[in-house]
A and B are shown apart, each in its own frame.
Chain A
Amino acid sequence: MNKIKVLFFATLRERAGTRSLDVDIPGDATVRALKDQLAAQHPNLSESLKAVLVTINREFAFDEAVIPRDAEIAIFPPVSGG
């Protein structure tokens, strides 16, 4: 198992009701698998998870990426700074 920290921002933070979660994922889990796991464990997130940006250790990551050990993951909507 791999113990990771998942950070949420903006709409995802409000939906999750928390800024971060500690999550246990299988050692070979991909970003897609993590999203599926979160959607199953937190049904109120499942709709918002369909169009989100995901980062691994502060770089944008994509569905096929394998999540490294002790990764810092963040999940958020497209950005709107400025």
Chain B
Amino acid sequence: MSLPTLFAITESELDLDALLAQITLESTGAAAIFTGIVRGITSRDDPHQTDFLEYEAYIPMAESKMKQVADEIRHQWPSVQGIAIVQRIGKLYPKTPTVLIACTAAHRDTGVFEAARYGIDRLKEIVPIWKKEVGSKGELWVEGDYFPKPGE
């Protein structure tokens, strides 16, 4: 039986229920779902307000790197059943979900939490997506700090 893996870049609103339904099997008993949200007020480090974030992606490569992240998850956590990795792009306002990483499994003690955590961490390293923040500090590209190594 093939396990559901879905990955996408979209300009549409993320429908968390519909995405979860697509990776739920008859034998699924647990789902770990991470979603990132546009933070309107940042108090940590450098306090400021955000009016919106504007996302862009190198779409065909982003989708193939999302598939790579899903493959890495399956390799490390073979008991994971379904995987969904979806990034919304375009102009996104505070309180809006921006990204979804969800993993399902038969039980919660199968590594499903760690698998979802790995998924979002890895997306932020190798999936070609960028965001520009517009707010009280003006316009500022958010730049990552990860330089992929050969084979990544």
Q: Do A and B bind each other?
A: yes
Is B19 close to A, CB under 8 A? no
Residues of B that sit less than 8 Å from A by CB: 36, 55-58, 60-62, 64, 87, 98-99, 120, 123-132, 141-148, 150, 152
20 A–B contact pairs at CB < 8 A? A9-B58, A10-B130, A10-B141, A11-B141, A53-B128, A55-B128, A58-B58, A58-B64, A74-B128, A77-B141, A78-B143, A78-B146, A80-B131, A81-B55, A81-B62, A81-B128, A81-B131, A82-B99, A82-B120, A82-B124
Q: How far is the CB of B71 from chain A (nearest CB, A)?
A: 14
Bound Cα distance from A11 to B132, whole angstroms: 9
* Given A10-B130, A80-B129, A60-B123 contact (CB < 8 Å): no
Tally chain A residues at the interface, Cβ within 8 Å.
18
